[in-house]
Amino acid sequence: MTIREFKMPDVGEGLTEAEILKWYVQPGDTVTDGQVVCEVETAKAAVELPIPFDGVVHALLFEEGTTVDVGQVIISVQTGDAGAGAPVQTAAAPVAEAAAAAAPAAPAEEPVAEARQPVLVGYGVSTASTKRRPRKATAATAAQNGTAAPAAPAAPAAPVLPAVPAQPTGERPLAKPPVRKLAKDLGIDLASVVPTGDGGVVTREDVHAAAAAAIAPQAVPAAAAPVAAQAQAQAPVAEAAVTETSARETRIPVKGVRKVTAQAMVGSAFTAPHVTEFITLDVTRTMKLVQELKDDPDLAGLRINPLLLIAKAVLVAIRRNPDVNASWDEAAQEIVLKHYVNLGIAAATPRGLIVPNIKDAHAKTLGELSESLSSLVATARDGKTSPADMQNGTITITNVGVFGVDTGTPILNPGESAILAVGAIKLQPWVHKGKVKPRQVTTLALSFDHRLIDGELGSKFLADIAAVLEHPRRLITWS
């Protein structure tokens, strides 16, 4: 009998971590190949993970609610296959202890697999990329595990802290790919960055701090204080702050949807040079067309709304201005023109804001586009949007008008060239045929990546969208 280990797979291309929402099995349960053992959340979607072999659950290495890096072992299963995997300890251990033991066990497995291991989606990360230093135990961790020593032994922990700031000579700094890219974009050498993450991992905040220090050298002396003294000084202050403000503040852990959204928006804002242009227009004719389409028996059963015609207007404008539909390849220093449109639609869900996209939207008829929009929104609200549905988007629409907002300056979805914000449609006085009349008016805001789209192209693209919505017959004449 051997113990086989199941690692957290990359359930969406390029993802680095996932939160375990729920375990469906417990130690001692029998599992079969393909059986769902847990549900995880990542990339703003809940995904069920099936296990790829038969056996009896030996141990669950992480508790529900824990965020786990891709490539870490999350469950071990006792099987009857000889040589299927390296033996591990058979004694049952608490989840927290098993998770801690998993870190030093990883190096023993590293030499076995030289190639990437196939996972549910794509090929995940290579084994080497998940290698980490053993995490240093902190006083809080020791106390939680019931192994806290008296106050006197706490002194030896001090020498450990000064070792964190300096990266070992000749050793590659530990950092996740998005952090490495951020450092490259900001011109920061990771080897010179003081890591504050667990196990000496460089975080995004560390890179920003290093960039700020480079801009303001006068701040360096203050930042150069010994880390040990700084940590000792900050600890009681933080504890006191929580105590004093616990009745007045609520601290919410940043994870799941909020964490992914924050990382994506910061990455986009600091990577792509944003430009936003606005246009206010009369959409009375479009609103009349929406009502006519609702009454059309050929479209019975389909959801017809202004967003449908706005999406169609965007697709027509892309056809007239194909260069807006592109992406920036930083590694190759190339602009990639897309000959397809995966139209993203920002959707508010119980889990937070997500941006699934309609694949090949450019090739769909009005009826097919309506069906895709309805399916996309329903799936998102049910929390069933898959990571694949949110990948490879090209241009996005966000409808802030449903909240009564006139417009906004939207941030690009990472990897996309533009995003259109649609404001509320309101009855306003408007000059129509030489007379002031009440007309249905809205404001559009287009944010675009200035590396890809210059002012002229961006202006023409936005003007074409507005022209279609002012005179919807152009949906036919410009198609």
Q: Catalytic residue positions?
A: 450
Q: Which residues pair with 6 in a beta bridge?
A: 75
HSE-CB of 184 using CA atoms within 13 angstroms? 9
Q: In what order do the strands lie in the sheet with 17-23?
A: 45-50, 36-42, 17-23, 67-69
Measured at the alpha carbon of residue 406, what is the angle toward residues 405 and 410, in degrees to the nearest 5?
Answer: 80
- Report the run of H or E that residue 357 belongs to, with start and end: strand 357-358
Of 354, 16, 31, the C-alpha closest to 6 is: 31
DSSP assignment of 260-275: HHHHHHHHHHHHS-EE
- Report the run of H or E that residue 396 belongs to, with start and end: strand 395-399
HSE-CB of 293 using CA atoms within 13 angstroms? 17
* Number of alpha helices (DSSP H) and beta strands (DSSP E) in the chain: 12, 21
Distance CA 348, CA 400 (A): 10
Q: Which residues pair with 182 in a beta bridge?
A: none
Contact call for residues 127 and 117 (beta carbons, < 8 A): yes
Measured at the alpha carbon of residue 469, what is the angle toward residues 364 and 354, in degrees to the nearest 5?
Answer: 60
Distance CA 18, CA 65 (A): 10
Residue 276 identity (one-letter amino acid): T
Strand bridging mode 30-31 / 55-60: antiparallel
Could you tell me how far CA 133 lies from the centroid of its own chain?
A: 25
Distance CA 466, CA 443 (A): 9
Distance CA 328, CA 132 (A): 31
Q: Which residues pair with 100 in a beta bridge?
A: none
| Strands annotated E in 226-320 | 274-282
What's the token pair of residue 329? 């390849």
Helix, strand or coil for residue 444? strand
